């Protein structure tokens, strides 16, 4: 129920108005002075107030100002016995809703109060709507800001390259992923046309970007290449048209995934398959041929010839065993299936065991092997099997690449918490341009293949894997026609 405060210094007027407004269903309160009215308003809320302008001490205009300070939304109707235009204007300026002159018609008062209350209801509803609208706008703004931050974080943190271009192909956005793939910073490319940065191929006839422009639809990731500051990169490129609220295209989102390394792995796998096939086929062909010859002359033939044939078969079988062994060792190391069993080892013992294993190989070429491994050298914490693989391949290579009657020097030293192993030969040496490739799978120095020196092309790969498994490093010093020296540095602990 709406409550109305009636303020008039004439008691009969307040009673008359109270009686009539009560008949309309309103709850009424009365006050004979401004001070009394203000006291009542501080105690309880009112929906409307009827104020006689001519009140003692504080007049109605002053009271209206105080009332509006207490409740700016209260409906106010001013009542006076004399028509005073200036007072009416002032009252309306202060927020009065209507102005009634005595003597008044009670129905006129009721109508005026009803209109003032209806106006108040509309004002309150409008304020509530405004508050709700402001709250909704604030919530939506916060949600948009949150989504914007999320999208910005995704745009910045994704490893993929993301580029946004407008309809004129000018770069609007260039994320860190795109910077990594292309080598360009966003400052270098923003505002430029995409084909000025990444080359004409990016917008060529069959390119994903051109297809998206021509069809107006998404283009799924397609394998292609792009040219950046870092050179040509293999990528998967997808393009999505960006649409406005009316469905019109205002730009294109280009997504790049760098697959250069994957393509290199694929190419490497193909090379490995080809190399393994070749390395297996050659000894198998020899074994097959010599076995057939032996079978044809099973009951006859020179014993020396047979022995020579069997020696060839034995040598080729050893070659196959070496290749398969190297492949299995490399596979275990690369896939992490090799279980390291570290223990304190004296590297001089490893060298001694390896030389014993390779003694026949060295004797065939009359190679002298000198070892300088002082007993005082600290024991290294390492895996014995890997250390044997490391030393065996270095010494075996040194024997292979040495001239008949040559010399190999093996030296071990200690310094700065490391063990330094040097294996030097004085053989054919390595051309400078081939040194960067000698640790690649199946790579064989051209001069060795031309001179008929056999090998799997995996020995130094295994050496490097064994060294790195122990946190060490390997270096090569070589001069063509003079010899080579491999220096391995391994931490003692």
- Could you read off the pLDDT of 206-259 as tens digits, one per residue? 899 999 999 999 999 988 888 888 888 889 999 999 998 888 899 999 999 988
Q: Which residue pairs from 156-162 have beta carbons closer than 8 angstroms and sit at least 24 positions apart in sequence?
A: 160/255, 160/256, 160/257, 161/235, 161/254, 161/255, 161/256, 161/257, 161/258, 162/253, 162/254, 162/255, 162/256
Query: Rounded to a whole number, what is the largest CA-CA distance in the chain?
Result: 154
pLDDT at 146: 85
Q: Report yes or no on whether pTM surpasses 0.85.
A: no
3-state SS string for 162-186: EEEEECCCEEEEECHHHHHHHCCCH
pLDDT at 450: 46
Task: Using the Cα atoms of residue 382, residue 386, residue 389 and residue 394 in order, give the sign of their dihedral.
Answer: negative
Residue 488 backbone class (left: φ over 0; alpha: ψ -120 to 50; beta: rest): beta
Cβ-based burial of 37 (10 A; exposed 0-12, middle 13-18, buried ≥19): buried
pLDDT at 112: 92
Whether residue 424 contacts residue 484, with contact meaning beta carbons closer than 8 Å, is answered with yes
pLDDT at 184: 92
* Angle formed at CA 63 by CA 80 and CA 19, multiple of 5 degrees: 55
Place of tokens 């330094």: 420
pLDDT at 330: 66
End-to-end CA distance of the chain: 90
Name which of 384, 451, 371 is nearest 412 in CA terms.
371
Q: How far apart are CA 368 and CA 399, in angstroms?
A: 9
Using DSSP's 3-state secondary structure scheme, residue 411 falls into strand
- Could you read off the pLDDT of 372-426 as tens digits, one per residue? 999 999 999 998 888 988 998 899 889 988 999 999 999 999 998 999 999 999 9
pLDDT at 260: 83
Q: How far apart are CA 276 and CA 337, in angstroms?
A: 21
Q: How far apart are CA 492 and CA 289, in angstroms?
A: 50
Place of tokens 């030389």: 355
Q: Which two tokens stand for residue 447?
A: 């001069």
- Could you read off the pLDDT of 15-49 as tens digits, one per residue? 999 999 999 999 999 999 999 999 999 999 999 99
Whether residue 68 contacts residue 23, with contact meaning beta carbons closer than 8 Å, is answered with no
- Other Cβ atoms within 10 Å of 210 Cβ, number: 15
Q: How far apart are CA 347 and CA 413, in angstroms?
A: 10
Q: What are phi and psi of 144, to 5 degrees?
A: -65, -40
* Angle formed at CA 218 by CA 217 and CA 224, multiple of 5 degrees: 125
For the chain, which ranges sit under pLDDT 50? Answer: 450
Q: How far apart are CA 143 and CA 137, in angstroms?
A: 10
pLDDT at 448: 55
* Angle formed at CA 386 by CA 381 and CA 392, multiple of 5 degrees: 115
The strand pairing partners of 219, in sequence order, are 239
Using DSSP's 3-state secondary structure scheme, residue 65 falls into helix
pLDDT at 395: 93
DSSP 182-210: HS--HHHHTTSBHHHHH-GGGGSTTSHHH
- Other Cβ atoms within 10 Å of 29 Cβ, number: 19
Q: How far apart are CA 314 and CA 332, in angstroms?
A: 27
pLDDT at 68: 92
């Amino acid at each position: 129920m709406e409550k109305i405060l009636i303020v008039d210094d004439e008691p009969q007027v307040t009673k008359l108005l109270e009686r009539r407004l009560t008949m309309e269903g309103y709850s009424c309160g009365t006050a004979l002075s401004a001070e009394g009215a203000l006291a009542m308003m501080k105690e309880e809320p009112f929906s409307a107030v009827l104020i006689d302008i001519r009140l003692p001490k504080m007049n109605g205009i002053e009271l209206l100002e105080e009332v509006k300070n207490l409740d700016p939304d209260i409906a106010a109707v001013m009542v006076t016995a004399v028509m005073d235009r200036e007072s009416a204007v002032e009252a309306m300026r202060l927020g009065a809703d209507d102005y009634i002159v005595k003597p008044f018609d009670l129905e006129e008062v009721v109508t005026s109060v009803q209109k003032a209350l209806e106006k108040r209801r509309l004002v309150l509803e409008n304020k509530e709507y405004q508050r709700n609208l402001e709250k909704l706008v604030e919530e939506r703004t916060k949600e948009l800001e949150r989504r914007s931050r999320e999208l910005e974080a995704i745009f910045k943190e994704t490893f993929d390259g993301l580029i946004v271009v407008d309809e004129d192909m000018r770069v609007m956005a260039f994320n860190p992923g795109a910077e990594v793939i292309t080598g360009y910073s966003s400052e270098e490319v923003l505002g430029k046309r995409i084909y000025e940065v990444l080359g004409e191929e990016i917008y060529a006839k069959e390119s994903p970007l051109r297809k998206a422009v021509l069809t107006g639809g998404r283009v799924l990731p397609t394998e292609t290449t792009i040219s950046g500051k870092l050179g040509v990169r293999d990528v998967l490129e997808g393009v999505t048209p960006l649409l406005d609220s009316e469905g019109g295209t205002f730009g294109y989102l280009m997504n790049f995934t760098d697959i250069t390394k994957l393509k290199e792995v694929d190419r490497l796998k193909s090379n490995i398959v080809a190399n393994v096939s070749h390395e297996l086929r050659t000894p198998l062909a020899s074994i097959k041929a010599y076995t057939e010859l032996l079978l044809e002359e099973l009951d006859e033939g020179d014993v020396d010839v047979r022995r020579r044939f069997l020696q060839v078969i034995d040598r080729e079988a050893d070659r196959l065993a070496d290749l398969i062994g190297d492949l299995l060792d490399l596979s275990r190391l690369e896939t992490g299936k090799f279980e390291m069993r570290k223990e304190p080892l004296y590297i001089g013992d490893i060298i001694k065991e390896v030389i014993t294993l390779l003694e026949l190989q060295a004797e065939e070429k009359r190679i002298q092997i000198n070892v300088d491994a002082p007993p005082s050298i600290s024991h290294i914490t390492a895996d014995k099997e890997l250390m044997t693989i490391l030393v065996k391949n270095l010494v075996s290579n040194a024997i292979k690449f040495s001239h008949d009657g040559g010399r190999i020097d093996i030296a071990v030293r200690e310094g700065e918490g490391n063990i330094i192993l040097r294996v030097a030969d004085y053989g054919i040496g390595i051309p400078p341009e081939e040194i960067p490739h000698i640790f690649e799978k199946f790579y064989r120095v051209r001069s060795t293949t031309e001179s008929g020196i056999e090998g799997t092309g995996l020995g130094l790969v295994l050496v490097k894997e064994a060294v790195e498994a122990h946190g060490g490093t390997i270096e090569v010093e070589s001069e063509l026609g003079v010899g080579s020296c491999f220096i391995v540095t391994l931490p003692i602990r």
